[in-house]
Chain A
Amino acid sequence: MKLNVNGKSVNFEGDPDTPILWVLRDHLDVTSPKFGCGMALCGACTVHLDGAPIRSCSTPVSAASGKRITTVEGLPAKLGKALQDAWIAEEVPQCGYCQTGQMMSAAALLTTNKNPSTEQIVSAMDGNVCRCGTYTRIQKAISRAAKSAA
């Protein structure tokens, strides 16, 4: 199966039912999407499929055939930098495990809504768990990124 990961064409020969997460992590060595729950409950595995956020732990790789998979490394340059700079400026991460998934959800939000309100941020981000409790900093970082990406 031909896959497009962060703009690169790659081949995957395994079981088409394999979730995208494990294809990325265990076969393609792209480890930024994290395993948290395996049931689309925590968002740590969030990646984009043709630009839309998906839970890669629960999406079979067959669904990605002919589509673009994007991880935090492959975000559009301006948006990716805006988000990463904002995350650094707000010193968001503690353990950091959930943060790439958080940023992918945030990237999806800012792609469709350039200037989200607090309520819209909360609504878009409520599926992403942070066990360290960095939520208020994530909110601030998204608002900051929205400004700099605008």
Chain B
Amino acid sequence: MNKNRLLDKVASDTASSSRRQFIKATSALSGALVIGFNLPEARAKAAAAANSASVSNAWVKVAGDGSVTLICHRSEMGQGVYTSMPMLVAEELGVPLSAVKIEMAPSAPVYINAMLGGQITGGSTSVRDAWTKLREAGASARSVLVAAAADNWKVPASECTTANGVVMHKSGKKATYGSLVGKASTMKMPEKVVLKDAKDWTIIGKQKARVDTPAKVYGKAQYGIDVKLPGMLVASLAQAPVIGGKAVKVNDAKAKAVKGVVQVVQIPDGVAVLAKDFYTAKKGRDALEIDWDNGPNERLDMLRIEQDLRTASVGTGAIMRKEGTGDAALEKSASKVEAEYMLPFLAHATLEPVNCTAEIKNGECHITGPIQFQQGAQYGVAAAVKMPPEKVFIHTTFLGGGYGRKLELDFQIQAAQIAQAAGKPVKLVWSREDDMKHDFYRPISLHQMTAGLDDKGNIQALHFKMTSPSVTARAFPPVVQNGKDPFMAEGSENLTYKVPNLSIENVIHDTGIRVGYWRSVSNALNAFAVESFMDEIAAQTKKDPVQLRMDLLAHDKRSQNVLKLAAERAGWGKAAAGRALGVAQMECYGTHSAVVAEVSMTKDGPKVHKITAVVDCGIVVHPDQALAQMESGILLGLGSGMKNEITFKDGVVEQNNFHDYQMLRMSEVPQMDITFVSSAAAPGGLGEVGVPLVMPAVANAIAALNGKRVRKLPLMQNV
């Protein structure tokens, strides 16, 4: 995973678990016991922080009233970190989950995601990254609280136990955590803490309720778009029809004439109209007269983009993985199977459109909004408004969907620039159309697949060649070395099948369209190609698709297990009349999963009746939310794979809103049968695992049903 770290510079400052060191401090403000976690490189700074009782690197605070606060270092965008993160702490601290309050973390190096190298919520890493770290934070806090009680009572700490925020001694003595806070702050931190045995867990694997559900159903949860500051105006921003274009001539007379429009300001990305409410700001913005220089993409359309992609695919790419003699073995094969797949650009289309609030006052810039990459926001905004990064403060709200869109920094920078130009607090709100037309799109991709078979039909060699724009080359250029974007090879490089010769080749081709990480990133692209292709090999060699896969997975019991179970649960080989089953399996984010889709054909096209999924993600921290993540991933993968594509004409995105970029609706939801395999392995990721396999499974089922192989998405337009 190290090779996938996004920010090498920042990553080099990040502690590995063996170098991790917890510190404690007493907050001067609250008198609370604060358990922090320091980067070795920042040790001197941290020691200073401890002495000055700073809470800036805090993970866990225990206050004099016994209340416990977890500083949540990951954004809550529906995946449940407001619940899973405090669960890890509460389990080891010895308090009920209900006793733990959540505070959203600011941007600070201590909160860097060690798996990604930045303070980023993404990559299905939240639980994996926090798994040891937060349990150790809870255990460290518990340890000093116990030490304090033992010292007070003049008994060995080993004779003390804890439960529900109380330290107890076998003599019957008891002390609440709150009463021990002052003393605990003076106790020596343990060199090493022993974490609980799995058999003793009372919270991990047991919790049902989500912490944030009540606020969300009472309408009290605050999303970015709900932020309101005193004196704040709402901004609507006119951006160039072609992304990257610039306003060259602006006539704002008509906009200013709209009743209620307060101000018009220009920033590098466009012209913002400010009013007390969004409707008026948008009305004013629609009255702007702007001449745009649309830049070099003005003539881009899909025909050219696809032709250019195909032309680029002729070139030699970077070899991301090679086994045996690679594709040299193809030449020696008795026969070949070849196929080509293509996936379209996609928009994230989070239901909460892009928005952000900024205030610049007293030499400080405060950014409040739905943010997935706090550190990027801090440094990006600082550079854009020419302020020192330490004067930029990031406040993260709930996210009304993220999927990778809110990793991008465009909207935080725009909000800050508008606030700076206007001299007032500003909430920038994009319309749905703005959001659809100014996204960072999931890359279009072309997959050219070749299999070499021996005379018995056994696979001797596989060659996968993917040609696609690289998100990483745009967003984190230093990570891409020698034409290798590790994120482009997700879903192919981690191929679980064992074949004698394998070559995975990636060609990076910039189409001119800006691209972004989209839930499950390249796993969804490559899995569609790889798992469709495995079925094409099975068809050509007259093998059962499940058996073909089982045979190639003999070395990988976890993969075999989920595949076998999924086939059994779905009734493999026993599809009802007029229906067919299709299968797909993979490992991604450290999680093994298999999916079987059941489809039929109707007059309106294919209908997906049921999705069976079996998942081995190691230890499941929160069973119900693990299930929710799989449901969510499956439906996002299905809806977008069946119906969605972003297309360009004269450089402009042709889609506008949910009538021409349609969301999956309740009437389209298949039955879902999702099973988690019991496992003692460390947790794998889950937030994105449901996405990639559903479409290859559906395409394979359609081919099984009527022999029609769909090699291009969206499926409904290409079936």
Point out residues on A near B: beta carbons under 8 Å.
Answer: 14-15, 17-19, 22-23, 25-27, 29, 31-32, 34-39, 41-42, 44, 71-73, 83-84, 87-88, 91-100, 103, 121-123, 125-139
Contacts of B398 in A (CB 8 A): 95-96
A129–B665 CB distance below 8 A: yes
Query: Inter-chain contact count A-B, CB under 8 Å?
Result: 181
B684 at the interface (CB under 8 A from A): no
Render B68-89 as a binary contact track against A, CB cut-off 8 A, 1 for contact: 0000000001111000000000
B362 at the interface (CB under 8 A from A): no
Contacts of B636 in A (CB 8 A): 131-133
Q: Interface size (B, Cβ < 8 Å)?
A: 63
**What is the minimal beta-carbon distance from A62 to any residue of chain B, in angstroms?**
13
A91–B628 CB distance below 8 A: yes
**Contacts known (A35-B225, A91-B624, A132-B401); A44 close to B667, Cβ less than 8 A:** no
Contacts of A95 in B (CB 8 A): 77-78, 350-352, 398-402
The distance in angstroms between the C-alpha atoms of A98 and B221, with both chains bound, is 12
- 16 sampled A-B residue pairs with Cβ under 8 A: A15-B259, A18-B279, A18-B280, A22-B278, A34-B225, A34-B351, A34-B352, A36-B658, A42-B658, A88-B214, A94-B80, A94-B632, A97-B400, A122-B666, A122-B667, A133-B635
The listed residue (B78, B228, B276) touching A94 by CB distance below 8 A is: B78
**Contacts known (A95-B400, A95-B401, A133-B631); A38 close to B432, Cβ less than 8 A:** yes
**What is the minimal beta-carbon distance from A63 to any residue of chain B, in angstroms?**
14
**Contacts known (A34-B351, A37-B657, A136-B631); A73 close to B278, Cβ less than 8 A:** no
**Contacts known (A35-B225, A96-B221, A131-B351); A91 close to B213, Cβ less than 8 A:** yes
Contacts of A100 in B (CB 8 A): 217, 219
Contacts of B277 in A (CB 8 A): 14, 18, 22-23, 25-27
Contacts of B632 in A (CB 8 A): 94, 132-134
The distance in angstroms between the C-alpha atoms of A37 and B351, with both chains bound, is 8
B78–A91 CB distance below 8 A: no
**What is the minimal beta-carbon distance from B283 to any residue of chain A, in angstroms?**
8
Main secondary structure of the interface of A (DSSP, over half): loop
B340 at the interface (CB under 8 A from A): no
Contacts of B216 in A (CB 8 A): 93, 96, 99
**What is the minimal beta-carbon distance from B708 to any residue of chain A, in angstroms?**
27
A15–B280 CB distance below 8 A: yes
**What is the minimal beta-carbon distance from B353 to any residue of chain A, in angstroms?**
7
Contacts of B279 in A (CB 8 A): 15, 17-19, 22, 26
Render B312-336 as a binary contact track against A, CB cut-off 8 A, 1 for contact: 0000000000000000000000000
Main secondary structure of the interface of B (DSSP, over half): loop
A88–B432 CB distance below 8 A: no
B385 at the interface (CB under 8 A from A): no
**Contacts known (A35-B278, A41-B659, A73-B219); A26 close to B234, Cβ less than 8 A:** yes
**What is the minimal beta-carbon distance from B71 to any residue of chain A, in angstroms?**
21
Q: Which of B639-657 contact A (CB under 8 A)?
A: 639, 657
Contacts of B222 in A (CB 8 A): 31
A88–B213 CB distance below 8 A: yes
The listed residue (A23, A31, A134) touching B631 by CB distance below 8 A is: A134
A132–B217 CB distance below 8 A: no
The distance in angstroms between the C-alpha atoms of A137 and B628, with both chains bound, is 9
The listed residue (B226, B429, B628, B658) touching A41 by CB distance below 8 A is: B658
Q: Which of B250-279 contact A (CB under 8 A)?
A: 259-260, 276-279
Contacts of B624 in A (CB 8 A): 91
A136–B429 CB distance below 8 A: no
Contacts of A17 in B (CB 8 A): 279
Contacts of B349 in A (CB 8 A): 131
B589 at the interface (CB under 8 A from A): no
B217–A93 CB distance below 8 A: yes
Contacts of A139 in B (CB 8 A): 666
